[in-house]
């Protein structure tokens, strides 16, 4: 099932386009990598899909429903979950309180399910999120998105501030969750090759326009293309 469909999207700020004629889709159960240099428009695209930034032209559909002009709250109720760069957790609340706050009423994901995906959180349930390590905070952040029982996840730089080894351990958990529950994931990530190993497909943005759409495997084999479209700023993120 197509969970996200973006067609000929133009978006920006103050009427000035940052994205131009972008078309893409995400299917259930797959991870799609969205790559590009710093300033390419990756975060703008995520924010526009989530209703945080108005589109100038084109259409966005979530779970088959056109959401142009919808509020972020309405799009979240449609099944979308956004994990922002700042992790989006409440640092003065405990791990358990964060999970309860994000849990969707009547949803199919429980705190016990989250602990099954992230066993390390079991011993931290009563600890305030602000006292967790960076890796533990990111586990909690992902857990909060899991317990919201999403159909479509938008993830912006999950590896930000993490040691590469920690990030590499989290990606298989995200992949398993997506496969278990048929969730589609659009993943913006600065660690290109690690992201491509977990993704089935990939898109590359360059100055607001798509320059690649295809399988992650094909993109991995195009090192010169990656270098020219991405690597100049890949270490900086967006």
Per-residue pLDDT, 163: 85
> CA-to-CA distance for 157 and 160, rounded, in angstroms?
6
> CA-to-CA distance for 73 and 33, rounded, in angstroms?
25
Backbone angles phi, psi at 63, to 5 degrees: 55, 40
Per-residue pLDDT, 236: 37
Confidence of residue 230 (pLDDT cuts 50, 70, 90): low
Q: How far is CA 4 from CA 24, 154, 188, in A?
A: 8, 10, 15
What is the rounded average pLDDT for all residues in the chain? 93
Higher per-residue confidence, 221 vs 114: 114
Superfamily name and number for 2-79+151-231: P-loop containing nucleotide triphosphate hydrolases (3.40.50.300)
Q: Are 148 and 104 in contact (CB under 8 A)?
A: yes
> CA-to-CA distance for 40 and 203, rounded, in angstroms?
12
Per-residue pLDDT, 99: 98
Per-residue pLDDT, 235: 41
> CA-to-CA distance for 97 and 182, rounded, in angstroms?
26
Backbone angles phi, psi at 45, to 5 degrees: -65, -45
State percent of the chain over pLDDT 90. Answer: 80
Rounded to two decimals, the pTM is 0.93
Q: Is the pLDDT of residue 166 over 80?
A: yes
Q: Are 146 and 121 in contact (CB under 8 A)?
A: no
Using DSSP, state whether 160 is helix, strand or coil: coil
pLDDT 10s digits, 58-110: 999 999 999 999 999 999 999 999 999 888 999 999 999 999 999 998 999 99
Per-residue pLDDT, 85: 85
Q: Are 181 and 32 in contact (CB under 8 A)?
A: no
Q: How far is CA 170 from CA 129, 165, 166, 191, 209, in A?
A: 18, 9, 7, 13, 29
Residue 8 neighbours by CB under 8 Å, 6+ apart: 21, 22, 23, 57, 58, 59
Domain ranges in the chain are 2-79+151-231, 89-149
């Amino acid at each position: 099932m197509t969970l996200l469909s973006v067609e000929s999207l133009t978006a920006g700020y103050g009427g000035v386009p940052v994205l131009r004629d972008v078309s893409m889709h995400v299917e259930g159960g797959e991870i799609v990598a969205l790559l590009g240099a710093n300033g390419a428009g990756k975060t703008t695209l995520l924010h526009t899909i989530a209703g945080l930034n108005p589109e100038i032209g084109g259409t966005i559909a979530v779970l088959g429903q056109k959401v142009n002009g919808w509020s972020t709250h309405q799009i979240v109720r449609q099944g979308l979950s956004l994990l922002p760069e700042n992790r989006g957790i409440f640092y003065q609340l405990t791990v358990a309180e964060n999970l309860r706050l994000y849990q969707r009423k009547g949803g199919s994901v429980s705190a016990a399910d989250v602990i099954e995906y992230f066993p390390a959180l079991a011993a931290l349930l009563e600890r305030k999120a602000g006292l967790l390590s960076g890796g533990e905070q990111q586990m909690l952040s992902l857990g909060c998105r899991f317990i919201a029982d999403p159909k479509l996840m938008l993830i912006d730089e999950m590896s930000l501030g993490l040691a590469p080894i920690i990030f590499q351990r989290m990606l298989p958990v995200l992949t398993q969750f997506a496969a278990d529950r048929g969730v589609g994931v659009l993943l913006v990530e600065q660690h290109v090759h690690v992201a491509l190993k977990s993704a089935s497909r990939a898109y590359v943005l360059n100055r607001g326009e798509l320059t690649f759409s295809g399988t992650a495997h094909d993109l991995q084999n195009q090192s010169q293309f990656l270098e020219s479209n991405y690597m100049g700023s890949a270490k900086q993120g967006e």
